[in-house]
Amino acid sequence: SQTIHQWPATLVQPVGSPLSLECTVEGTSNPNLYWYRQAAGRGLQLLFYSVGIGQISSEVPQNLSASRPQDRQFILSSKKLLLSDSGFYLCAWQAGGSYNNEQFFGPGTRLTVL
Amino acid sequence: QKEVEQNSGPLSVPEGAIASLNCTYSDRVSQSFFWYRQYSGKSPELIMSIYSNGDKEDGRFTAQLNKASQYVSLLIRDSQPSDSATYLCAVNNNNDMRFGAGTRLTVKP
pLDDT tens by residue, A42-72: 789 999 999 999 999 988 768 899 999 999 9
A99: chain B residues, CB-CB within 8 Å: 92, 94-95
Q: Which segments of chain B have a pLDDT < 50?
A: none
In terms of Cα–Cα distance, which of B61, B71, B68 is closest to B7?
B71
Enumerate residues 6+ apart whose C-beta is below 8 A from A61: none
Please answer yes or no on whether A103 and B99 come within 8 Å at the CB atom: no
pLDDT tens by residue, A1-33: 889 999 999 999 999 999 999 999 999 999 999
B100–A contact, CB cutoff 8 A: yes
**Nearest CA distance, A110 vs chain B (angstrom):** 9
Residue B23 exposed, middle or buried by CB count within 10 Å (0-12, 13-18, 19+): buried
Enumerate residues 6+ apart whose C-beta is below 8 A from B79: B13, B14, B15, B16, B17, B18, B19, B105, B107
* Chain B contact probe: residue of A99, A104, A109, A110 with most B CBs at under 10 A: A99
Residue B105 CB coordination number (10 Å) = 22
Q: What is the pLDDT of residue A61?
A: 65
Q: What is the pLDDT of residue B86?
A: 96
- Cα angle vertex B78, ends B77, B83, to 5°? 85
